Amino acid sequence: MTDLMLLAPEITIVVTGLVVLLAGLFMSTPSKKILAYFSTLGCIIALVLTINSLGTSATLFSGTLGINALSQFFKLVFLTVTLLVSIASIKYTEGNSHTEEFYTLVLFATFGMMMVASAEDLMVLFVAFELASLATYALAGFEKQNPRSLEAAMKYFIAGALSGALLLLGISFVYGASGTTNISAVAQNADLLMSSPMGLLSVVLLIAGFGFKIALVPFHMWAPDTYQGSPSVVSALLAAGSKKMGFVAAFKVFIVALIGLQADWTIAFAILAVITMTYGNVVALSQTSVKRMLAYSSLAQAGYISMAFVVLTPMALTGGILYALSHGFMKAGAFIATAAVVYMVFKDDKKSEIPDHIDNFKGLGKRMPITALSLTIFVFALAGIPPTAGFVSKFILFSSTIESGFVWLAVIAIINSAISLYYYARVVKYMYFIPAEGERVSEPAPYVVALLIAVFGVLAIGFWPEPFVQMAMNAADVLI
Amino acid sequence: MAIEDLAFLIPILPALAFVLTFFLGKKLPSGGAMIPIAAITGSFLISIVITINMLANPEHVISQSYHWFSILNLGILIDPLAAVMLSMVSFVSLLIHIFALGYMSHDKAQSRYFAETALFTAAMLGVVLSDNILQFFICWELVGLSSYLLIGFWFEKPSAASAAKKAFLTTRIGDVMFLAGIILLFTDIFKLVNGTIPDGVYLLRFDEIFSFIPELSAMTATILGYEISHLTIITLLFFGGAVGKSGQFPLHVWLPDAMEGPTTVSALIHAATMVTAGVYLVARTFPMFLAAPQSLIIVAYVGAFTALFAATMGLVMNDLKRVLAFSTISQLGYMTLGLGMGAVIGAEAVGISIFHLINHAFFKALLFLCAGSVIHAVGTHDMRQLGGVAKVMPITAATMFAAALALAGLGIPGTRIGASGFLSKDPIIEAAYLFGEHGGSWFPYVFAIVAALLTSLYIFRLLFMTFTGEPRSDYGGHESPASMTVPLGILGVFALIFGALTTKVFNGFLSTTFLNDFVHMDFHELAGLGGYELAHTAGHHEPLLILWMPIIVALIGLLIAFVVYYLKLIDMSDIVSRNNPVYKLLYNRYYQHQIFTELFSIKFIYEGIALAGFYLEKSLDWIVSGISGFIIEAGEVLKKAQTGVIQQYATAIITGVGLLLILVELVTEVF
């Protein structure tokens, strides 16, 4: 019984999802709004339960699941993002007859991510990984009438299926060489892996599998299309939540299980981090769709976080893990702000082809002041300007990189940050310095609430980094 | 609940008022002015209660620290110095806010005005009660930012916009020095503690800083062959910040132009906030200055020179507000001079200087509000077009006369009878005399005494030209509404009697600033570190003439002004003419403008850059636009890799796996 209590946040999420799904069958479309509120409540309860269990450390079910500072920290990230998405979606799903399916999928995807964070066994990890993936495939294609949404889902699914296969192949090589799928047991049998060429092969295959979720170049190609085509709230979940699932899985598999092959995967991550951040930033420069721009910026951010694998000191991992939380707030916030803009555009013109075009952000400061101000804070945070979460995370990550002697890597990352300021500042320019082409629009309350929570998170980490850094440090201690 | 637990509200209330007024002000009557007024009333009440409590028990200071991150903290420190400043700032700011109710009532952007003044007040209160130098600096910068916003309040006027920019950039020079001082201080202290810091010790808190004074003064650097202690460098850099904020020579150029904002803003900048921040910075870190005598001497000289320099220019200005602006610079010079006198009288210097600061706050706020009242009613601030205003605005005239008495410093030496300016300026001049007597130079004293003569002269010139005689142009006028005259009356009473009431308690109270349960400094030991000795001031008596000197020169100034501008016995047209080189020099403010903008900026910087630019521009241009062009072009090209065809995506993934394998192998081989 006490064992199950440790999984209380997960159980809350699953039960909420099931209740929403079943209750939705018997409800009329207008009254389904209540399901949205109910799901939000479920997220809040799960979040509180997770915060309460931050200090616990235990293993469950014959060592297949683990509760520790790392898993709970990432659950916190996932639940925060889900909470933001869930609040914002109250408006998005308004009057939609499939509200219950939307929320159930969001909650199941979250459940999958949380299980990945806790998984101590490669098979459990894979199944949870696929659970989250399958739910998000369906979410990406949620707008059935919209060909872009369907195309997004289809590309995401095919790339996902392929990557899933590579991931499974990688796991099977690990199992074949080490004779176990238990993460800590794999670490003990590291000699077997190192002596065999299968070691390197499995490393590369696993990187490809996780790189798909993290969106590392060249496994990223689905991401811009999918982020742009999906509903913005779903993009928020993908970029801010499911990407972090890739990271926590990679943290566990590489740093714990395959630490013996460190020499190989450090090089692989170094190459990918540099390519990914540079590619992401450079291509983001010429985007006219804000969601696409955010997609490429999220590639770049993934590149920064991947530096933690290269440096591999406790401080760098702290930076990377804290970056995951900060990025959750910043990116989810930015996509939700875009969702508010898309809502505004559709109000004027139902048939808009690219509702998130940068032209639609003209004079947003006058038309939707709260959204514009929040988005300004998010993009500046993404660029790493103090006093925001983005600055604190980048500072810890980059300074630890320099301290460990990887000056070249830090220089590349800093140059990249400088480049990124161009396209982030451009959004701000459109919002505040180019006159508006429309009336002021009243901002829907759910969007505003979600945005304000995200702003609060971004600024809280920026002004008061200490407790968050401490949490991330505890999480990093689990790995090393 | 003890009042101390509310101390944190002092800056928080106006800060909240800023947020509320900014967002909701437009929908409320009179631009939501009631929110900041209520908030600042709250701050004032808390401050004054704290001050009164502290008067009874000055050794017990309020010090609360909260952990911020690593070795930094946020916190409040209210010792006698801070308590006095808090009360003054909140009180003067409150009166100015009430006055602005009437003054700004015709302005469309009222709510923005009140929001910004609330922020300004919050930032200044934050400066005053910071217990560490970093938080001090953050609030200090906020003061700079809000002053920029307020000076440029009427930003559609090009002169206002450029004045705001000038104020911001000029003070920025000082700010950079201040920041450099903080960085040097931090690295030095960090080196001294050897990287091991016990829990609960915050390196940049004032008590910690002061405890490192002996070590800092022992660290030396060699600059241009001179051995200079780090403490001297740090204090000079801090003083650089003070020079910028407090408008000391040569960074005073922004202050006269800062008149472009609403007159109430000028009153706020000149009396209660901003300019006093610099003096406060030196006072706050005074133990460091005491142990660095070279810095103190520089402080004294800069102060004395500024006092005289600005007074000469105040003499010839024809714009009401500009006269007052130069008067502020001159009076700030006195305060700085007072601090510099620490070289002979030790920490007592803080007492006399801050006493003058407080008195100055009252009478200068009053002078500006009177000027505002005149401008509000008459619509011009050129004194040549005014005259005889006293007939239409008797209350304003009377209060302005009171303020002038205070500024000129009229009173009876040896007693406590006199306007507040007298009781505070006199000790500064006496200290300057003592400084000369104790082997320092006589320059500060001579400068201070001549400046006193000019002060009296220019302020009575202003008074006679504006309020007496016949109107020199057609203006309709009326006495201002009660919301304006009531603050004038209150300030008028303060300007006259505040000094007399408090002069006894003040010095004793402030002397505990560095002798209490938070910090306990031994001034003689500090002076010893600096290699000099403090004079024993107790029972010292100056010659009678010296004692009477300030009042004599003030009366001479009054007399000259009376003869020339009231009786008009002497025709000034010969002297006041463009042919008189002295007048021309003064009127053109020593050609500083020309020197600064034309000679210095244009000749050296602009033309220098233009010349260098001629060769560099093309290449720089090419490099900058080349790089950015290349990156953007690269983006365009790489964008095409994103074909949208899923089959190619799948190919990329598989190829990626293969390439990654090969690359990792290659890199492992090579390294």
Mean pLDDT of chain B: 78
d(CA A131, CA A358): 35
Interval B170-183: pLDDT, tens: 788 888 888 988 88
Average pLDDT over residues B578-591: 62
Mutate to test the interface with A, among B24, B649, B669 (most CBs of A within 10 A): B649
- Whether the CB of B664 is below 8 Å from some CB of chain A: the reply is yes
Residue B357 and residue B288 share a domain = no
Residues B652, A205: C-beta atoms closer than 8 Å: no
Nearest CB to B649; choose among A222, A282, A285: A222
Residue B51 and residue B20 share a domain = yes
d(CA A323, CA A243): 12
Q: Which residues of B573-607 are buried (b: 16+ CB within 10 A; e: fewer)?
A: eeeeeeeeeebeebbebeebeeeeeeeeeeeeeee
CB atoms within 10 A of CB A408: 11
Residues B638, A283: C-beta atoms closer than 8 Å: yes
Interface of A with B in 283-342 (CB under 8 A): 283-287
d(CA A242, CA A108): 12
Which 8-state DSSP code applies to residue B577? S
pLDDT band at A133 (very low <50, low <70, confident <90, very high): very high
- Please tell me the predicted confidence (pLDDT) of residue B353: 86
pLDDT at B593 over 60: no
Phi, psi of B52, rounded to the nearest 5 degrees: -65, -45
Output the CA torsion sign for A35, A37, A42, A43: positive
Interface of A with B in 186-205 (CB under 8 A): 200-201, 203-205
pLDDT at B633 over 70: yes
CA separation, residue A28 to residues A22, A86, A96, B360 (Å): 13, 20, 10, 73
d(CA B422, CA B407): 8
Domain boundary among B587, B622, B648: B587
Report if residue B537 sits inside a domain.
no
Six-digit token pair at A53? 């269990």
Residue B637 and residue B580 share a domain = no
Q: Which of B14-18, B453-457, B602-606 shows the highest mean pLDDT?
A: B14-18
Interval B526-566: pLDDT, tens: 777 777 777 665 555 667 777 777 777 777 877 777 777 76
Domain boundary among B534, B558, B587: B587
Average pLDDT over residues A391-403: 91
Interval A258-287: pLDDT, tens: 887 888 888 889 989 999 998 888 888 888
**Total residues belonging to chain B:** 671
CB atoms within 10 A of CB B634: 16
CB of B291 closer than 8 Å to CB of B217: yes
- Whether the CB of A139 is below 8 Å from some CB of chain B: the reply is no
| 3 state SS of B201 | coil
Residues A267, B67: C-beta atoms closer than 8 Å: no
d(CA B173, CA B251): 8
d(CA A13, CA A47): 10
Residues A159, B653: C-beta atoms closer than 8 Å: yes
- The type of residue at A276 is T
Residues of chain B with C-beta less than 8 angstroms from the C-beta of A271:
660, 663-664, 667
Distant-in-sequence, close-in-space partners of B74: CB < 8 Å, separation ≥ 6: B65, B66, B68, B132, B135
Six-digit token pair at B232? 């001297």
pLDDT band at B298 (very low <50, low <70, confident <90, very high): confident
What range does the domain containing B428 cover?
Answer: 318-511+543-587
pLDDT at B438 over 80: no
Residues of chain B with C-beta less than 8 angstroms from the C-beta of A469:
69
Nearest CB to A283; choose among B639, B649, B664: B639
| DSSP H/E element including B115 | helix B110-129
d(CA B249, nearest CA chain A) in Å: 34
Interval A420-430: pLDDT, tens: 888 898 889 88
Interval A206-255: pLDDT, tens: 999 999 989 888 888 888 889 988 888 999 999 888 899 999 999 989 88
The tally of domains found in chain B comes to: 3
- Please tell me the predicted confidence (pLDDT) of residue A157: 92
Report if residue B448 sits inside a domain.
yes
Break chain A into its structural domains and give their ranges: 2-479
CB of A20 closer than 8 Å to CB of A103: yes
Report if residue B531 sits inside a domain.
no
- Whether the CB of B652 is below 8 Å from some CB of chain A: the reply is yes
**Quick one: which of A213, A252, A227, A238 has its CA closest to A71?**
A252
Nearest CA in chain B to A468: B69
Six-digit token pair at B58? 């000055």
Residues B656, A264: C-beta atoms closer than 8 Å: no
d(CA B645, nearest CA chain A) in Å: 9
| DSSP H/E element including B63 | strand B62-69
Residue B446 and residue B350 share a domain = yes
d(CA A142, CA A193): 42
- The type of residue at A292 is R
Average the pLDDT over each of A39-48, B156-165, B292-301, B379-388 and give the range with the smallest value.
Answer: B379-388
Mean pLDDT of chain A: 89
Residues A466, B632: C-beta atoms closer than 8 Å: no
Strand partners, B73: B67
CA separation, residue B26 to residues A175, B29, B33, B108 (Å): 68, 8, 10, 9
Report if residue B306 sits inside a domain.
no
d(CA B231, CA B93): 35
d(CA A465, nearest CA chain B) in Å: 7
Residues of chain A with C-beta less than 8 angstroms from the C-beta of B644:
225
Domain boundary among B532, B560, B587: B587
Residues A224, B642: C-beta atoms closer than 8 Å: yes
What CA dihedral angle connects A165, A169, A172 and A173, to 10 degrees? -170
Average pLDDT over residues A320-346: 91
Mutate to test the interface with A, among B19, B638, B659 (most CBs of A within 10 A): B638
Residue B412 and residue B376 share a domain = yes
Residues of chain A with C-beta less than 8 angstroms from the C-beta of B67:
466
Q: Which of A179-188, A295-304, B304-313 shows the highest mean pLDDT?
A: A295-304
Interval B653-663: pLDDT, tens: 888 888 888 88
Residues of chain B with C-beta less than 8 angstroms from the C-beta of A219:
652-653, 656
Residue B487 and residue B373 share a domain = yes
- Please tell me the predicted confidence (pLDDT) of residue A419: 86
Nearest CA in chain B to A203: B661
Query: Which residue did the predictor score with more confidence, A446 or B405?
Result: A446
d(CA B42, CA A278): 54
- Whether the CB of A18 is below 8 Å from some CB of chain B: the reply is no
In whole angstroms, how large is the CA radius of gyration of chain B?
Answer: 28
Report if residue B534 sits inside a domain.
no
What CA dihedral angle connects B86, B87, B89 and B94, to 10 degrees? 130
Residue B262 and residue B386 share a domain = no
pLDDT at B581 over 70: no
Six-digit token pair at A355? 């509702």
Average the pLDDT over each of A103-112, A185-194, A312-321 and give the range with the smallest value.
Answer: A185-194
Query: Which residue did the predictor score with more confidence, B307 or B603?
Result: B307
- Please tell me the predicted confidence (pLDDT) of residue A106: 94
- Please tell me the predicted confidence (pLDDT) of residue A190: 78
- Please tell me the predicted confidence (pLDDT) of residue B343: 77
d(CA A335, CA A364): 15
Residues B635, A205: C-beta atoms closer than 8 Å: no
| DSSP H/E element including A126 | helix A122-140
Residue B346 and residue B281 share a domain = no
Nearest CB to B653; choose among A208, A464, A466: A208
- Whether the CB of B2 is below 8 Å from some CB of chain A: the reply is no
Interface of B with A in 606-635 (CB under 8 A): 628, 631-632, 634-635
Interval B107-160: pLDDT, tens: 777 788 888 888 889 999 999 988 888 889 988 888 888 888 888 888 788 778
Interval A72-117: pLDDT, tens: 999 999 999 999 999 999 988 888 888 889 999 999 999 999 999 9
Q: Residue B422 — left, alpha, or beta (φ > 0 → left; ψ -120 to 50 → alpha)?
A: alpha
- Please tell me the predicted confidence (pLDDT) of residue A78: 94
Residue B67 and residue B20 share a domain = yes
Mutate to test the interface with A, among B646, B647, B666 (most CBs of A within 10 A): B646
